[in-house]
Amino acid sequence: MLAIFHKAFAHPPEELNSPASYKGSKKPKVPQETLNDFLSHHPHNTCSMSFGHAAVLAYVRPDQPFSIHQRLFCGVDDIYCLFLGSLNNLSLLNKQYGLSKNTDEAMFVIEAYKTLRDRGPYPADQVVKDLDGSFAFVVYDSKIGSVFAALGSDGGVKLYWGIAADGSVVISDDLEVIKEGCAKSFAPFPTGCMFHSEGGLMSFEHPMNKLKAMPRVDSEGAMCGANFKVDKFSRVNSIPRVGSQSNWMEWDQH
């Protein structure tokens, strides 16, 4: 999967952007070039959607209809979800949310997002923490330009993110596309974490602890985009809560 969001709608940590990206022979690419690379890497069963200059979503249909690491893509009410992996407790979650038995993981994530956005207050970290399985997802709410992404804590699904030439955020499970599109300004998306266009990056496993940027150097000795790990000795002075449609996740001071 591939998701690209304009810098006006998504603000990743500054440490993801490496100055070394502009010093070597390989420079970051603009979003359209990265999309073209993704489509060329996956010439069959690929579809993509563009939302003007705001966002691009691309999806590769699975070769096998039933797979442990399934790939799903759906859209409801101008909300779109790319989902990788599977949830072991999907049946229970569907029951809790009053959804039909045949609701798949991508549909469930959209309904959970809509619940957080419209009906709060629920702690977003708790909703994601309740997901049991190997998973990664990216949600784009095209009505309000909101981005929400998360990666499960078990490491069963790999996800990467980086910064394009125009400052856009690039998220994909295709490491080669990320490397080609973001040069040195990329890193693995941190496990057990979620990213929102308003609230930024946080751990849904340890929501009261800050995330610490860990410098990362490649085999050529060049500084790359940082890894992020939970800092057990540093706590945040605010807790995430669900806000209005114009500001889905706000920060509420104690």
Q: Are 205 and 129 in contact (CB under 8 A)?
A: yes
Question: What is the rounded CA–CA span in Å between residue 134 and residue 166?
Answer: 32
Which residues sit opposite 242 in a β-bridge? 249
Of 49, 40, 44, give the one whose Cα is nearest residue 62: 44
Q: Are 85 and 133 in contact (CB under 8 A)?
A: yes
Tell me the pLDDT of the chain (254 aa) as tens digits. Answer: 999 999 999 999 999 999 888 887 789 999 999 999 999 999 888 999 999 999 999 999 887 665 667 899 999 999 999 999 999 999 999 999 999 999 999 999 999 999 888 876 667 888 999 999 999 999 999 999 999 999 999 989 999 999 999 999 999 999 999 999 999 999 999 999 999 988 899 999 999 999 999 999 988 888 899 999 999 888 876 554 444 443 434 433 33
Strand order in the sheet with 2-5: 46-51, 55-60, 2-5, 169-172, 160-163, 186-188
Q: Where are the domains of the chain?
A: 2-207
Centroid of chain to Cα 58: 13
In terms of CATH, what superfamily is 2-207? Aminohydrolase, N-terminal nucleophile (Ntn) domain (3.60.20.10)
